[in-house]
């Protein structure tokens, strides 16, 4: 492996790790109860937020942004997440999962059923946004 190839591989491995560490440092700086809320959202996303890596990284960083602003403004947690935290997180994921494997498989299922039912119009109908 050339030095250039090795450097490219190293930056691919370290880049996401560095980004993750920076995100975690931001979360540690949040005051309670914002930190606990972000940690709970993170834990949920690790189990149920089926997204590609780039989307997940962007989502985590945006969650940190949201809660940093909320903490600075003194916004109550329930004003942010509402009465249904699962619905809140699922709405967040819906904004980021485009390109994720779950979305691709959902779209594949929809298109397969449309074709099987003779409904395929070829206009992209039946795809998830």
Q: Does 121 reside within a domain?
A: no
Q: Does 128 reside within a domain?
A: no
Residue-level pLDDT at 6: 45
CATH number of the domain to which 7 belongs: 1.10.1900.10
Angstrom distances, CA of residue 110 to CA of 48, 74, 100, 104:
21, 43, 16, 10
Q: Does 127 reside within a domain?
A: no
Q: Does 34 reside within a domain?
A: yes
Average pLDDT of span 73-93: 93
* Total number of domains in the chain: 1
- Kindly report whether the global pTM for this prediction surpasses the value 0.75: no
**Domain assignment of residue 33, given as a range:** 3-116
Q: Does 54 reside within a domain?
A: yes
**Does residue 3 or residue 22 have the better pLDDT?**
22
Q: Does 104 reside within a domain?
A: yes
Q: What is the DSSP string of 83-103?
A: S-HHHHHHHHHHHH-TTSHHH
């Amino acid at each position: 492996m050339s030095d250039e190839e090795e450097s490219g591989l190293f930056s691919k491995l370290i880049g996401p790790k560095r980004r993750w560490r920076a995100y975690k440092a931001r979360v540690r700086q949040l005051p309670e109860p914002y930190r606990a809320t972000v940690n709970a959202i993170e834990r949920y996303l690790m189990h149920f937020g089926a997204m590609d890596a780039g989307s997940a990284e962007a989502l985590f960083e945006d969650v940190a942004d949201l809660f940093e602003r909320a903490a600075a403004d003194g916004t109550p947690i329930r004003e942010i997440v509402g009465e249904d935290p699962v619905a809140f997180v699922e709405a967040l994921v819906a904004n980021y999962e485009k390109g994720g494997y779950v979305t691709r498989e959902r779209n594949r299922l929809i298109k397969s059923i449309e074709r099987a039912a003779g409904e395929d119009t070829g206009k992209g109908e039946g795809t998830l946004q």
